[in-house]
Every structure is written in structure tokens, then in C-alpha cells.
């Protein structure tokens, strides 16, 4: 039964490796996850709404150039009317009515508006650009969430892969112990020790697979992937330090690591291209356009008008009959009262501009601080990984020596299992540090949008 258990686990590990290799046809890169998350995220619908809102607002602003029609009507009664104190000999003057009625339709056409309509349209465009930049900032925040899930899954995948390697090593150790029993240098209880380690490794693998399902469900929901069980992620390449150290027994199982000599061990100097910076600039332009609009709306307007009316009296005040009439001409209008608030409005804009500059400087300061910390993390992990490689190499030698000692009956099976476990922990530590290095690099890229 014990032999069958080991064989089943070994075969299962091989089949799993083959299945993973087959499923890698659907593997995704982190950049693809970024793109798919932005396409699938519900907020993407807001962009279309911003475009529509801008279009409607611009059309409404352009309506100011279309002739404007206004209609009014009134019926009044007054206590006195115009009269002549002395009569004119031979002339009979009509008596004006104290009740008067007017219905007026007036058509006006702007000829010169001091640039108010153009300034208003520019302000609408600037406001829409601010909304678009705010949308881009919100969408950019998805990257941090993608990073956490993506590299979490990569770490779990590597840990599962290492457990498969460990179970293969344990299967080999099981056979080695059987040979030792045949040679009289071990006993049946030594096989139990190996079997316990196999069962423990299998339990850990099941726990990791359950955790991976949770992570992949969350990532799949963000990127719109329905088949979350087959989600395979491609490990970013070109960011890990060169490493030739490592035990020969584990080289084939270690993930490939390569990094340009110009990058390895050096600090990353990247330009800050965060969308928040574009948002600050858009807000500044919006306030400047608002200043132009305030200036333009406080200037006089010139327009043409045609007024048609029907009432009593008409243009001839002495005609007591209902009549139609028309007036046309050019007029200048100037809302002087708007000048009362202009000064405070301009001051408010100046204050807003200063506030944006403070927010921008604060954001850049915090970004520089974060990027400096992340650069320090990157350099730390680069050095740790170099040490990990040497540790793995030494642990591999110790494990091989322990295998020979077991064959000669000078150490126990528990001693060999302990050395195998230590070597495996060293390999897993290196993998963990490599994933942490990759995440630190992508966190830095995310901090500066590179």
C-alpha cells in the first residue's frame, strides 16, 4: 500500500505538470491583465457618458448664435394718462384709455458677444477633459489590485510546483529507504517517516490550490475571464539578477532568471508619468478657461433685434384702436451688476490655482518618497536572491552527502528528511524573494506609470 501511495503521488505530480503545460496555451501577461481589466471594469461606461455630456453642453452653448425669440403679453390699468392742459382751437384731441394691452414678439441676433460664447465652449471642453482625466486616474488604480492578485497567484503556482518536486524527491527517498531495509541498515518505521512527509506535502498542496482558486476567481472577475480554473499567468522576464548557483538536482525545477547587466544591482530611475499629473494640468487649464469666461461675460454685447407687437395703444399713442406695429434696430446691452462679483470670482480662481499647485507638489513628493523606498526594496531583494542561490548550492551538497550517509547506515531517515526539507525551504525562499522582487519592480512601475 505504501509503495502504491508513493507511486500514485508521483504519477499525479507528473500528470499535473503536463496539465499545467497544456493549460499554458491560455496564459496571460500582466500587461494583458491591465488592459482587460480596464475594458471589463464597469466604470468604463462613464467615458462614453462624458463624451455625450460634452457634446450636449457644446451644442447648447452654440445656441447663443441662433436668433433668440421671446414673447410677452401684458394688460395694465393706470390711474392717469397723458393729456393737454389747454385745448387747441379747432382741434379735437382723443382721450387716451387708462386700460392698455400689449402682445410683443421680439427676435434678437447676437452680432458681437465679446467672446463669451467661445470662452464658455472652451470652459466646457476643459471641464470634460478634467472628467476624462479623473476617469483615467480611477481606472489606473486597478493596476495596484491587479499586481497584488497577479503576483500572489505566481507565488502560489511556484509553491505548488515546488511541492510536486518535493513529493518526487520523497518518492525517490522512499525507494532509497527500501533498499536500505533490504541491506539491513533501516527498518519499516523509516518508511512511515517518509509517508508522513508525503501526506503533509499533499495537504499543503491542497491548501495552496484552494487559495489559488480564491485568487483566480477575483482576478478573473476583474479581467472578465469566465474560465477561472484554467487561468495561467506568465512570469515577467528580464528583471531577475543573473544566477548560475544552485544545486544540480534543483536546477531543472528552478524558474528561469535573467536580467540585463545594466539593470541588475542598480537603482531604477524612471520618469513620473502618473495620470494624476495630467489631471492637475487639466484642472489648471479648466480654471484658466473659467477666468477667460468671467472676463468675457462682463463685457457688453451688441445685437440686432426686430420687435413685432399688437395692442392698444400701438406706436401711435393717440390711436385708441387695437393695432399691429414693428420696430427693428441695433442695441447694446451690458450687465453692469456682474462686475460686482468679478473681483471675488477671479480671486477664487487664483486661490484654486495655488491649491492645485500645492496638491501637485505634494503628490510628486509622495511619489518620489514611495519610489525611493521601492528602489531600496528592489536592491535588497537583488542581494538576497544572490545569497539564496549560494545557500541552495550548499544545501544541495549537504543533501547529497546525507543520501550517501543513509546508504551507509551512518544517519537516520529523519536526518535525511530534515536535510531535504531544508534544501526545499531554501529553494522556496529564493522563489519567494524572486516574486517579491518582481512585485517591487512592478509596484515601482505602477508608482511612476512606466
**94 assigned to some structural domain:** no
In total, how many domains does the chain have?
1
**272 assigned to some structural domain:** yes
CA distance 65 to 378: 60
Q: Is-contact 303 110, C-beta < 8 A?
A: yes
CA distance 210 to 168: 22
**61 assigned to some structural domain:** no
User: pTM value?
Assistant: 0.75
**292 assigned to some structural domain:** yes
pLDDT tens digit at each of 450 positions of the chain = 454 444 544 445 444 444 444 444 468 899 999 999 888 888 888 888 888 898 888 888 888 888 888 999 999 988 888 776 666 666 666 777 888 999 999 999 888 888 888 999 999 999 999 999 999 999 999 999 999 999 999 999 999 999 998 898 888 888 888 888 888 777 888 888 888 989 999 999 999 999 999 999 999 999 888 887 788 899 988 777 655 333 333 444 443 333 333 344 455 567 889 999 999 999 999 999 999 999 888 888 899 999 999 998 888 887 888 999 999 999 988 888 777 888 899 999 999 999 999 999 999 999 999 999 999 999 999 999 999 999 999 999 998 999 888 888 888 888 888 899 899 999 999 999 999 999 999 999 999 987
Kindly report the CATH number assigned to the domain that includes residue 274. 1.20.1600.10
**290 assigned to some structural domain:** yes
- The grid cell for 154 is 505566481
The torsion of the CA quartet 388, 389, 394, 400, rounded to 10 degrees, works out to 120
**393 assigned to some structural domain:** yes
**141 assigned to some structural domain:** yes
Q: Tell me the sheet residues that pair with 110.
A: 303
Which residues constitute the domain of residue 248? 2-40+113-299+334-448
**55 assigned to some structural domain:** no
Amino acid at each position: 500500500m505504501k509503495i502504491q501511495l508513493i507511486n500514485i503521488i508521483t504519477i499525479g505530480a507528473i500528470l499535473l505538470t503536463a496539465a499545467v503545460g497544456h493549460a499554458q496555451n491560455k496564459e496571460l501577461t500582466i500587461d494583458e491583465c491591465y488592459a482587460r481589466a480596464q475594458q471589463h471594469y464597469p466604470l468604463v461606461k462613464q467615458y462614453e457618458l462624458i463624451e455625450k455630456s460634452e457634446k450636449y453642453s457644446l451644442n447648447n452653448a452654440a445656441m447663443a448664435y441662433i436668433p433668440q425669440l421671446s414673447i410677452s403679453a401684458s394688460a395694465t390699468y393706470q390711474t392717469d394718462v397723458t393729456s393737454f392742459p389747454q385745448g387747441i382751437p379747432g382741434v379735437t384731441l382723443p382721450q387716451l384709455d387708462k386700460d392698455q394691452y400689449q402682445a410683443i414678439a421680439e427676435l434678437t441676433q447676437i452680432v458681437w458677444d465679446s467672446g463669451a460664447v467661445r470662452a464658455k465652449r472652451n470652459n466646457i471642453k476643459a471641464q470634460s477633459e478634467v472628467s476624462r482625466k479623473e476617469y483615467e486616474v480611477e481606472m489606473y488604480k486597478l493596476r495596484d489590485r491587479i499586481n497584488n492578485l497577479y503576483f500572489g497567484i505566481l507565488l502560489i503556482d511556484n509553491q505548488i510546483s515546488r511541492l510536486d518536486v518535493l513529493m518526487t524527491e520523497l518518492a525517490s527517498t522512499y525507494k532509497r529507504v527500501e533498499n536500505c531495509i533490504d541491506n539491513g541498515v533501516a527498518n519499516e518505521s523509516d518508511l512511515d517517516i517518509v509517508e508522513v512527509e508525503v501526506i503533509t506535502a499533499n495537504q499543503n498542496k491542497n491548501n495552496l490550490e484552494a487559495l489559488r482558486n480564491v485568487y483566480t476567481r477575483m482576478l478573473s472577475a476583474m479581467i472578465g475571464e469566465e474560465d477561472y480554473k484554467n487561468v495561467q499567468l506568465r512570469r515577467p522576464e528580464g528583471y531577475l539578477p543573473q544566477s548560475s548557483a544552485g544545486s544540480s538536482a534543483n536546477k531543472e525545477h528552478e524558474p528561469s532568471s535573467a536580467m540585463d547587466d545594466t539593470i541588475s544591482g542598480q537603482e531604477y530611475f524612471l520618469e513620473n508619468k502618473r495620470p494624476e499629473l495630467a489631471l492637475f494640468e487639466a484642472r489648471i487649464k479648466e480654471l484658466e478657461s473659467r477666468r477667460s469666461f468671467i472676463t468675457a461675460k462682463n463685457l457688453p454685447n451688441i445685437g440686432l433685434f426686430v420687435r413685432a407687437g399688437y395692442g392698444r395703444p400701438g406706436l401711435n399713442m393717440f390711436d385708441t384702436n387695437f393695432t399691429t406695429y414693428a420696430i427693428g434696430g441695433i442695441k447694446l446691452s451690458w450687465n453692469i451688476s456682474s462686475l460686482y462679483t468679478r473681483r471675488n470670482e477671479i480671486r477664487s480662481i487664483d486661490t484654486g490655482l495655488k491649491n492645485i499647485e500645492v496638491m501637485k507638489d505634494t503628490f510628486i513628493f509622495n511619489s518620489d518618497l514611495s519610489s525611493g523606498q521601492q528602489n531600496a526594496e528592489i536592491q535588497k531583494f537583488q542581494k538576497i536572491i544572490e545569497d539564496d542561490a549560494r545557500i541552495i548550492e550548499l544545501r544541495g551538497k549537504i543533501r547529497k552527502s546525507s543520501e550517501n550517509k543513509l546508504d551507509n547506515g551512518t544517519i537516520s531517515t529523519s536526518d535525511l528528511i530534515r536535510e531535504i526539507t531544508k534544501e526545499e525551504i531554501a529553494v522556496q525562499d529564493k522563489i519567494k524573494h524572486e516574486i517579491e522582487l518582481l512585485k517591487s519592480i512592478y509596484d515601482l512601475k505602477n508608482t511612476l506609470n512606466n
